[in-house]
Amino acid sequence: MGPVRGSKKKRKIEKKPDENVSASSEMEGSVDCWHDLSRRMNGLQSPSKGLDKFKSVFRISRKTFSYICSLVKEDMTAKPGSFTFSNGKPLSFEDQVAVALRRLSSGESLVTVGDSFGLHRSTVSQLTWRFVEAMEERALHHLQWPSTSAERMEIKSKFEKIQGLPNCCGVIDTTHVMMCLPSADPASKVWLDREKNHSMVLQAIVDPEMRFRDIITGWPEIREYIIGDLGYPLLPYLVIPYQGKELPEISMEFNKRHSATRLVASRALARLKEMWKIIQGVMWRPDKHKLPRIILVCCLLHNIVIDLEDDNAQDEMPLSYDHDPGYRQRICGSLDVNGVHLRDKLSLYLSGKLPP
């Protein structure tokens, strides 16, 4: 998923009537559910002992289990289809959630989870994805950026109490989610990280209570970079197009996307010169010490027009313009091996041949 930002009240789930799911009756229901479930799961003993193992099996309390069920019930039960155990008995809604949670919390294979519940692996897969989709729809309010000043002040105060750092709003860190991909597939190379492992990156911002406030994931480990034309060298942080006439399709597609993206700079420079014409033509014997400052101010004015959303000024500007007439494209030709690797990684990612 992409970054999730916005307002979020301090979580006091137990005080929200629509989330509490009727305290005593629901707790009793989940206990009864666990009695039945524990009988079906291999490796668990009698129901009484099984009850003590709820947290060890699902990594959450029965109260949290009930709340999660309340979140996803509408979406999961609305989808057609019925599921049965190997003995032919149908799965209850709570059974379905339990299977998905077990798959997510244990990390065990579909076959292993299926065997423990008496289910086929395809059933485990379907239930897991139904649950994931329902959570995406119903639980995003649990991952939001603090928007009120009071909430931000509370977060900063708690951070300061840890080791005295003032005005800190969050801690950012990155982790790798390892993957096993077929090495024979060229598309797998894009997911190779700096340690030569296949992984997906998760970047997260965390508050003092270890709550995720913002995450970015779904991307391979591609470091930050800028792009330029063939007049620049190919560097680990500067990506230029492929050069040549008979390029592979994947390289041609990359060049097409690279060129379309690069147009934003060409249009910006064209707009700058068109609007602030003092730097458009040939300046007659300018003061070499003052000219950089004039250029700077023109760039500042350019940004002010954008920042103030001055549509009248922007609408008059050309979307495409040759900002350097008379200058031919120069070619640098210098290549850095790390830059080559980064460009190849990007072209594979953009080719559309990667698995979803």
Q: Reading across the β-sheet that carries 171-178, which strands appear in turn?
A: 171-178, 199-206, 212-219
Amino acid at 130: R
- Closest to 54 measured CA to CA, from 84, 34, 39, 68: 34
Spatial contact of 118 and 43, defined as CB atoms under 8 Å apart: no
- Cβ within 8 Å of residue 336, ≥6 positions away: 233, 234, 235, 236
Burial class (CB in 10 A: 0-12, 13-18, 19+), 54: buried
Q: Residues 209-222: what's their mean pLDDT?
A: 85
Q: CA-CA distance, 118 to 49, in Å (whole number)?
A: 20
What's phi and psi for 173, nearest 5 deg? -155, 165
Confidence of residue 291 (pLDDT cuts 50, 70, 90): confident
The answer to whether residues 214 and 145 touch, using CB atoms and an 8 Å cutoff, is: yes
Report pLDDT for 288.
67
Q: What is the pTM of this model?
A: 0.69
Between 309 and 339, the more confident residue is: 339
For the chain, the average pLDDT equals 79
pLDDT band at 39 (very low <50, low <70, confident <90, very high): low
The rounded distance, in Å, linking the Cα atoms of 172 and 215 is 9
Q: Give the pLDDT of residue 50.
A: 46
**Whole-angstrom Cα distance, residue 122 to residue 114?**
9
Q: How much is the pLDDT for 127?
A: 94
Q: In the prediction, which pLDDT does 111 show?
A: 94
Q: Show Cβ contacts of residue 250 under 8 Å, excluding neighbours closer than 6 positions.
A: 347, 348, 351, 353
- Dist. CA 237–CA 43, nearest whole Å: 52
Q: What are the tens digits of pLDDT across the range 229-283?
A: 999 999 998 999 999 989 999 999 989 988 888 888 888 888 888 888 877 776 6
121 versus 24: which is more confidently predicted? 121
Which 3-state string (H, E, C) describes 264-292? Answer: HHHHHHHHHHHHCHHHCCCCCCCCCCCHH
Pairing of strands 238-239, 212-219: unpaired
The pLDDT of residue 12: 36
Instruction: Give bridge partners of residue 254 from the DSSP assignment.
Output: none
Q: Specify the DSSP element, H or E, that contains 215.
A: strand 212-219
pLDDT digits (tens, 9 = 90+) for 62-105: 888 889 999 999 999 998 888 999 889 999 999 999 999 989 98
H/E segment holding residue 23: helix 23-40
- Cβ-based burial of 275 (10 A; exposed 0-12, middle 13-18, buried ≥19): middle
Show the beta-strand stretches assigned E in the chain: 171-178, 199-206, 212-219, 226-227, 238-239
In percent, how much of the chain has pLDDT > 70? Answer: 78
Q: How confident is the model at residue 20 (pLDDT cuts 50, 70, 90)?
A: very low
Helix (H, G, I), strand (E, B), or coil: what is residue 90?
strand
Q: d(Cα 297, Cα 274) in Å, to the nearest integer?
A: 15
Query: For 229, how many CA atoms within 13 A lie in the half-sphere containing its CB?
Result: 12
Q: Is the dihedral of CA 136, 140, 145, 147 positive or negative?
A: positive
- What is the reported pLDDT for 40? 62
Q: What pLDDT does residue 327 have?
A: 67
Is the Cβ–Cβ distance between 10 and 64 less than 8 Å? no
pLDDT at 181 over 50: yes
